[in-house]
Structures are given as structure tokens and as C-alpha cells.
Amino acid sequence: FRRLCPRKFRTSAPHLAMSSTHFSFRALRSVRRLGRRPLTPRRLFCKERSSATTESPAKSSEATADSAGRGRKVDIPKTLPVQQVSFKAPTSPITWLSLGITALMGGGLYWYYLSEKERQTRKAVSQQKVIGKAALGGPFTLVEMSGRPVTDKDYLGKYLLIYFGFSRCPDICPSELVKMGDVLDRLGKASEKIQPLYISVDPQRDSLLQLKKYAADFHRRIMFLTGTPDQCFDTAKVYRVYHNKADDVDEDNYLVDHSIVMYFVGPDGQFIDFFTQSTTAADIVKRMKGHAPELSP
């Protein structure tokens, strides 16, 4: 009776008391109908909680029970999974790979800029139109590196390719003289009709001995000329060549600013055309053949 009868139904009041026989009969009938002891909400919660510890914490359980034989549904609280938080140190977006890719792209863009600039320069030079003839050229008197005096009349009957420079030039003059030699090689046998000349704009240092040493590094057919300061400067004047000492700190160590131009002169001593530093050897040969068809093979 004490097991089946809750404490709240126990009372000493005679009008509320239940006979043990009557209560036992009702309880026995209830047990036979259910076939087991009824689960109270407290017992049901404890049972589900004990079973939840053996299952995965990510699963949630919902228990339904008949509370006090009334068939009510009881919601069991869900268990929250324990998440493991891993700390990852921040990494820099700048890596060796990104630096390499950036350098490669920069080099490619710079190469494209230079090639495009050179292409546009060639295009502009090829589209130049010359109207009339420039008042360039005239008589001159100079000295060959062998010591023989020469004048402009000594070269009549041949085409002249003239360049003004100085032997102490570090880079521009050597590159232009190499280009002059390339022009002669491209012309082949027709180059025998052309006399290439180098005229100094620095007669103070370009002595005959200095020019002989300097000429050994370039094409064998290039003739190097010098003279007195008046002779060299007068020749530069008739061809309108600009020249000036860049710095006069030391008498023996200075540079000379000058025009970077090749002059093409006809067999009669008359000026025909000029070629700037941006003009390639192939373009020079093409333009020379256009002015002088006899230079074509």
C-alpha cells in the first residue's frame, strides 16, 4: 500500500480514508492494464539523461511519457556539443611567390614599354617627309690619322657617310661607329662606293696617335680625321653640329656634348640625307639605296 499509494492520498480523516482493499484492487488493476510500473516524469528524465551520456552529444532526445497516466508529452532539454576551437596564427599576404610574380609582371611591362617605344620611333622616322635640301656641308681641311692633309675635294666621286664624335666618349660614339660598320657590311661590295669618315670635335685630345689606337676597335674602312681646333670646329660648323664641353674641371678629363647624327653626302659633295641615333642600320641602308640606286646589288 505504501509503495502504490502516494503520500498525498494518505490522511487520517475518516471521510477521506480509502480502504486498503479497495485501493489495492485499483492499483492491481492498473498494473495489469499497463503491464509495468508507470514511469513518472522524474524517472523518465533520469533514464533519458543516463542514456544520453552513452550516445553522441550531437543527438537530441525527445522523450514522451505518460505523466501520471494522463498521456502528456514531456520535452527533454537538448545537450549542447562541446566544440573544440583551434587557434591559427595569422599569415602575411606577402609571400615569396607573390613577390616573384610581381617582379615578373613588372619586367614584362617594362620590356613591352621599351619595345613599343622603339616601334613608335621607327614609325615616326619612316613617315618623315623632307621638302627641299638642307643647307648642310661645305669645304673643309683636315688631317688623316696617317698624317696626310685632306680636303673635301679629295673625296669627290664617292659617297660620304660622316659622323662627328670624340675618342674619349664612353658609350654613344662607340655604338654609332659600330652601327656605321654594320651599314658597310650590309651593303656588301657596294660599300666600296662609300667612304665613311669620323671627324673629331675634341682636337685637343684626339691626336694622330690616339686616333690610331681608337680606330683599331672598329671597321677597317672608317677613316678618322682630326686637325687644329679651328679646322675641326669650322668643319662642324658647316654641318651644323653642336658640340660643347660638359664640364671643364680637369683639362684632360672631361666629356663633350655633341649632336648624334650621321650625314650622307653625294659624290658631288652635296648633302643628301641624315640619320639620327634612333635610326637602325637596316633603315639607313634602305634609305641610302633609295637615294642612290647604284648602291643596290
Please state the residue numbers annotated as binding site for Cu cation: 169, 173, 258
Burial 147-175 (b: 16+ CB within 10 A, else e): eeebebeebeeebbbbbbbbbbbeeebee
DSSP character string of the chain: -TTTS-GGG----TTT---HHHHHHHHHHHHHHHSSPPPPHHHHHHHHHHHHTTS-TT-----B--GGGS--B-PPPPPPPPPPPPP-----S--HHHHHHHHHHHHHHHHHHHHHHHHHHHHHHHT----S--------EEEETTS-EEEGGGGTTSEEEEEEE-TT-SSHHHHHHHHHHHHHHHHGGGGGGEEEEEEES-TTT--HHHHHHHHTTS-TTPEEEE--HHHHHHHHHHTT--EEES--SSSSS--EEE--EEEEE-TTS-EEEEEETTS-HHHHHHHHHHH-GGG--
DSSP bridge pairs for 161? 196, 264
How many whole angstroms separate alpha carbon 2 and alpha carbon 290? 132
**Contact yes or no for 284/263 (Cβ under 8 A):** no
